[in-house]
Amino acid sequence: MSHQAIYRKFRPKTFDDVLGQEHVTRTLKNQIMTDNIAHAYLFSGIRGTGKTSTAKIFSRAVNCLNNHDGNPCNECEICKSILNETNMDVIEMDAASNNGVEDIRELRDKVKFLPVKSRYKVYIIDEVHMLSKGAFNALLKTLEEPPEHLLFILATTEPQKIPATILSRCQRFDLKRIKSDVIVENMKSICKEIGIEYDEKALSLIAANSEGAMRDAQSILDRCISFNEDKIDYETVINLLGTVNYQVVLEAANYMVDKDIKSTMVLVDDILNRGKEILSFLDELIVCFRNMLIIKTTGLTDNIIRMSEEEAEDLKKLSNRVSVDEIVEFIEDLSSAQLECKRALNPRVLLEAKLIKMLNKVENINIDSLVNRIEELENRIKNGNTATVIKTKSSAGRHVVAETRKRSATSENVSSPENFEIKKQDTSEKFVKEKQFENKSDEAIYNAIINNWQAILKKVRSENAGLQAIIRESRLHEVKNKKAVFEFDPKFTFHINAANQPKNKVKFKEVLSGILNEECEVEFTIKKDEKPIKTKHTIEDIYEDVVREFGEEIVEFKQED
């Protein structure tokens, strides 16, 4: 006998065999037991979640001669004929290849005839969203007034493409993605039945890459068995899927968190030299930081993807060494790199450049921490302590260091705390926090906004990313009577309308006043393109204009005595 694919060999035969869709199977079983069957059903969901299998089970259950608690017996004459595909009353159609008006008209003519030997004539239309507009219109009349013996079961992966007139006449059931642990348990039972040894870690990796589709997981399992009939191990799955070992991805994430450019580049070089796809590597890295973000913000490991519980614990430790903002920035930068690599002629060079740029960013100095340390330093100077060192982390591996030593009371350099100066370091974002906040002049507010503009944008982004995208297109024009006036270029009509919405003005005012520690009103205006008009003071000026307009050979200048 020829080989039969695992997903076909182990296709569910009863509603109880359909895994992860209890909300659907229970309802259908109750309808069958109470004889409360509708004339049209719609099963929607991603590939491989059991839409067609459920439809076939339902077609047997409604016609079964010996029904068991809503499940088909699969032993009676009707069930066997449907299983063997010899029953003329159950018709399967593929709407992808039979999507024309004529196909549906032919169907509409046939549905009038009574079933040959079954209770219901069942039409299973797979990928129904592929029907043309005309075909949907032809189907609509039948769905409106169906014969009592007729049952339609529609299946689709894209229900949004089905007309509302069709949807409203069907009982809709949405099949969910199947959880990884359910998929793993199913694969374990399959391996035991066919006598194949397995590593649980390998099955977890298969389940993670199936993305909630049981059929995908079973197809990958089939490939692994074909590759190695003795045992399914972790390395076999990695090689067949072309993915990167998650431990290697976790190691790359560690290096990136530490801003270790050298180790990151060596590891990436090794991964790519082994033939792994750049986009696949980036995808795994993004998922790793996504999982890290979920763990960091929720403390839970229930909804992490593509990793085991053991790996989740390692990721939890790593998340303690990085902030939420940094994780989000990693995800944004890696996603941008992934998008650009898809279009790049040399994606490897682009990836390496992006990673180096990403890891070589100058970190924002923690101003609050710096101020606290300066105050501590001042207190030590007052008390006469010696050799105090202040360190604030700057870019990777570098620190800003300010050192003071005990000097005599007459020293002109350190005679009082007021004479102690910490030199400002150049950073990618200038953030100057002043200690004098009361009664600032308009000029002081103007300078503070200019100096802190990047920090203001970053704060707005943390509060409202959409508002930040609007505000960054404006430019500070002036500060008058403690009101900051920002100008937009005339082409940014949408931006100024959005910025002037009351809730946006209030939010920006709160952020601005909070950073400046000064109550400051805001106003948004359109930039005026004013051209200075030259005043004509003398007859010579007027003469020059007339000559430019009419020509020197026509205009003659005469000056009376």
Contact predicate 95/131, CB 8 Å: yes
Distance CA 458, CA 470 (A): 13
Q: Which residue has the higher pLDDT, 391 or 554?
A: 554
* Domain annotation covers residue 424: no
Whether residue 404 sits in one domain with residue 340 = no
Six token digits for residue 118: 């079954």
pLDDT higher than 80, residue 109 = yes
pLDDT higher than 60, residue 15 = yes
Domain holding 113, by residue range, is 6-174
Amino acid at the residue 77: E
Whether residue 534 sits in one domain with residue 497 = yes
- Model confidence at 539, pLDDT cuts 50, 70, 90, reads low
Whether residue 111 sits in one domain with residue 24 = yes
Q: Which of 194, 283, 190 is nearest to 243 (CA)?
A: 283
Distance CA 270, CA 267 (A): 5
- Model confidence at 416, pLDDT cuts 50, 70, 90, reads very low
Distance CA 561, CA 557 (A): 13
* Domain annotation covers residue 79: yes
Distance CA 445, CA 448 (A): 5
Whether residue 11 sits in one domain with residue 128 = yes
Six token digits for residue 182: 């359910």
Share of the chain above pLDDT 90, in %: 35
What count of residues does the chain have?
561
CATH code assigned at 303 = 1.20.272.10
Q: Please calculate the CA angle 279-283-286 and round it to the nearest 5 degrees.
A: 135
CB atoms within 10 A of CB 364: 16
* Domain annotation covers residue 72: yes
Whether residue 346 sits in one domain with residue 252 = yes
Q: Which residue has the higher pLDDT, 545 or 352?
A: 352
Distance CA 158, CA 139 (A): 18
Six token digits for residue 333: 């930068």
Task: Point out the domain boundary residue: 241, 275, 292.
Answer: 241
Distance CA 384, CA 356 (A): 45
Q: What is the pLDDT of residue 560?
A: 57
* Domain annotation covers residue 456: yes
Q: What is the pLDDT of residue 382?
A: 67
In tens, the pLDDT along 501-535 reads 888 888 888 888 888 888 888 888 888 765 444 55
In tens, the pLDDT along 192-248 reads 998 899 988 888 888 888 888 999 999 999 999 988 878 888 888 888 887 777 788
Q: What is the pLDDT of residue 500?
A: 87
- Model confidence at 549, pLDDT cuts 50, 70, 90, reads low
Q: What is the pLDDT of residue 366?
A: 52
Q: What is the pLDDT of residue 390?
A: 41
How many structural domains comprise the chain? 5
Q: Which residue has the higher pLDDT, 97 or 340?
A: 340
Q: What is the pLDDT of residue 436?
A: 42
Q: What is the pLDDT of residue 30?
A: 94
Distance CA 475, CA 467 (A): 15
Amino acid at the residue 433: K
pLDDT higher than 60, residue 421 = no
Whether residue 119 sits in one domain with residue 22 = yes
DSSP 8-state assignment for residue 152: E
Q: What is the pLDDT of residue 545?
A: 65
Whether residue 346 sits in one domain with residue 472 = no
461 burial (CB, 10 Å; 0-12 / 13-18 / 19+) is: middle
Q: What is the pLDDT of residue 402?
A: 38
Whether residue 341 sits in one domain with residue 464 = no
pLDDT higher than 70, residue 2 = no
pLDDT higher than 50, residue 322 = yes
Rg (CA), the chain: 36
Q: Give whichever of 185-194, 398-407, 443-452 has the largest mean pLDDT.
A: 185-194
The DSSP string of 191-258 is HHHHT-EE-HHHHHHHHHHHTT-HHHHHHHHHHHHHH-SSEE-HHHHHHHHT---HHHHHHHHHHHHT
Whether residue 251 sits in one domain with residue 236 = no
* Domain annotation covers residue 406: yes
* Domain annotation covers residue 425: no
Task: Point out the domain boundary residue: 200, 226, 241.
Answer: 241
CATH code assigned at 22 = 3.40.50.300
- Model confidence at 542, pLDDT cuts 50, 70, 90, reads low
CATH code assigned at 232 = 1.10.8.60
- Model confidence at 350, pLDDT cuts 50, 70, 90, reads very high
In tens, the pLDDT along 298-320 reads 887 777 777 766 677 888 888 88
Mean pLDDT of 386-405: 41
Whether residue 286 sits in one domain with residue 231 = no
pLDDT higher than 90, residue 423 = no
422 three-class SS: coil
Q: What is the pLDDT of residue 415?
A: 41
Q: Helix crossing, 278-298 with 347-359: angle to 10°?
A: 30
Distance CA 173, CA 169 (A): 13
pLDDT higher than 80, residue 490 = yes
Q: What is the pLDDT of residue 425?
A: 41
CATH code assigned at 518 = 3.30.300.180
Task: Point out the domain boundary residue: 157, 174, 191.
Answer: 174
User: Quick check: pTM over 0.85?
Assistant: no
**Sign of the CA dihedral 98, 99, 105, 110?**
positive
Q: What is the pLDDT of residue 285?
A: 92
Amino acid at the residue 224: C
- Model confidence at 418, pLDDT cuts 50, 70, 90, reads very low
Tell how many helices (H) and how many strands (E) occur in the chain.
24, 12
Contact predicate 257/284, CB 8 Å: no
151 burial (CB, 10 Å; 0-12 / 13-18 / 19+) is: buried
Whether residue 314 sits in one domain with residue 219 = no
Mean pLDDT of 110-129: 91
pLDDT higher than 70, residue 365 = no
The DSSP string of 303-370 is T--S--HHHHHHHHHHHTTS-HHHHHHHHHHHHHHHHHHHH-SSHHHHHHHHHHHHHTPPPPP-HHHH
- Collect all residues with Cβ–Cβ distance below 8 Å to 486 and sequence separation of at least 6: 471, 474, 475, 476, 477, 499, 522, 523, 524, 525
Whether residue 501 sits in one domain with residue 406 = no
Distance CA 82, CA 64 (A): 10
Share of the chain above pLDDT 70, in %: 80
Mean pLDDT of 495-504: 85
Q: Locate tokens 């060999």: which residue?
A: 9
Q: What is the pLDDT of residue 442?
A: 83
* Domain annotation covers residue 1: no
In tens, the pLDDT along 132-176 reads 998 998 889 888 888 889 999 999 999 999 999 999 999 999 999
* Domain annotation covers residue 458: yes
pLDDT higher than 70, residue 551 = no
pLDDT higher than 80, residue 548 = no
pLDDT higher than 90, residue 262 = yes
